[in-house]
Amino acid sequence: MNVLIVDDEPLARERLARMVAELEGCRVLEPSASNGEEALALIDSLKPDVVLLDIRMPGLDGLQVAAKLCERDAPPAVIFCTAHDEFALEAFQVSAVGYLVKPVRPEALREALKKAERPNRVQLAALTKPPTTGGSGPRSHISARTRKGIELIPLDQVMFFIADHKYVTLRHEGGEVLLDEPLKALEDEFGERFVRIHRNALVSRERIERLQRTPLGHFQLFLRGMETEALTVSRRHVAGVRKLMHHL
């Protein structure tokens, strides 16, 4: 993976370069860029796979650079590395695949670069664009703030959403994250891919395996990838789940 570093601070560029150089399979491209104009020129000539991009820079800032990259047919993946955490929403609206807050930790950088391998370049332009920002459909990834920074979870890796008080737990193939989004809003956006099985639960339609009745008369739903764990189906939703399973 070829990585281009863009930052107006020489020490920040050097530190990132050292961390990237220590990661297996990653190569730092030279020269690095100190502003947005240089970044665009080097991206054209060096064709990096990933750009580690600062936000606040003289001239074109990082968000403007990323917006210009979104207009290209085959843009590199963008991971923002910034001292400011207030630009996360804007970052994902310009298709960033990662958002790291300085000082960047090696383990957080490693995880972000690993995630940058997953979406292909055609998908990058559609990442995390909620319908309210003018997108033509639901997001392909969901963003969550965790101890690692901002994580992007591909929608096809999501197993279910469970509401608990003011937060929603998202279970995916790699674990769990908390979302600060209402379950109803998620149902409205992703209703084609998820079905409600309880007043507090949405599950992935394509992961449904079987519906089972317990000796006490309750109904449990088993999902692919969760063979030893089942979710409770409320009685009012049993008929709808059964009907859906006949068409799966």
Backbone angles phi and psi of 74, in degrees to 5: -135, 70
pLDDT for the residue numbered 92: 67
- Please give the order of strands across the beta sheet that includes 230-233: 208-213, 219-223, 230-233
Helix (H) / strand (E) element for 211: namely strand 208-213
pLDDT tens figures, 145-191: 777 666 788 899 999 999 987 889 999 998 999 998 899 999 999 99
Sheet holding 2-6, edge to edge: 27-28, 2-6, 50-53, 77-82, 98-101, 149-154, 141-146
* Distance from C-alpha of 80 to C-alpha of 150, rounded to nearest angstrom: 10
Q: Do the domain assignments include residue 41?
A: yes
Residue 49's nearest CA partner among 4, 17, 13 is 4
Residues 6+ away with beta carbon under 8 Å from 130: 139, 189
50 with 76: CB under 8 angstroms?
A: yes
Report which of residues 97 and 187 the model is more confident about.
Answer: 187
Indicate which CATH number applies to the domain containing 181: 2.40.50.1020
Does 137 map to a domain? no
One domain for residues 18 and 85? yes
Phi and psi at residue 192, in whole multiples of 5°?
Answer: -75, -20
Burial class (CB in 10 A: 0-12, 13-18, 19+), 188: exposed
Residue after which a domain boundary falls, among 127, 143, 175:
127
Q: Look-up: residue for tokens 């764990």?
A: 229
7 and 57 fall within a common domain: yes
Maximum Cα–Cα distance for the chain, whole Å? Answer: 68
Same domain, 64 and 19: yes
Q: What is the mean pLDDT of the chain?
A: 87
Residues 117 and 165 in one domain: no
Per-residue pLDDT, 198? 96
Last residue of a domain, one of 57, 92, 127: 127
Domain termination site, one of 111, 127, 143: 127
Residues spanned by the domain of 58: 2-127
Q: Are 23 and 116 in contact (CB under 8 A)?
A: no
CATH code of the domain covering residue 84? 3.40.50.2300
* Residue that wins the pLDDT comparison between 113 and 140: 113
Shared-domain flag, residues 168 and 87: no
| Total number of domains constituting the chain | 2
pLDDT of the residue at 153: 85
pLDDT tens for residues 20-77? 999 999 999 999 999 999 999 999 999 999 999 999 998 999 999 998 988 776 789 9
State the pLDDT at residue 180: 84
> Are 122 and 162 found together in one domain?
no
Give the residue, 137 or 132, on which the prediction is more confident. 137
Distance of CA 128 to the CA centre of its chain: 7
Q: What single-letter DSSP state applies at residue 132?
A: G
Would 133 be classed as within a structural domain? Answer: no
CA dihedral 82, 83, 89, 93 (to 10 degrees): -20
6 and 123 fall within a common domain: yes
- DSSP assignment letter at 122: H
HEC states along 31-91?
CCECCHHHHHHHHHHHCCCEEEECCCCCCCCHHHHHHHHHCCCCCCEEEEEECCCCCHHHH
User: Same domain for 122 and 157?
Assistant: no
Dihedral angle computed from the Cα positions of residues 180, 237, 220 and 214, in that order, rounded to the nearest 10 degrees: 140
Please tell me which of 126-135, 140-149, 222-231 the model is most confident about, judged by mean pLDDT: 222-231
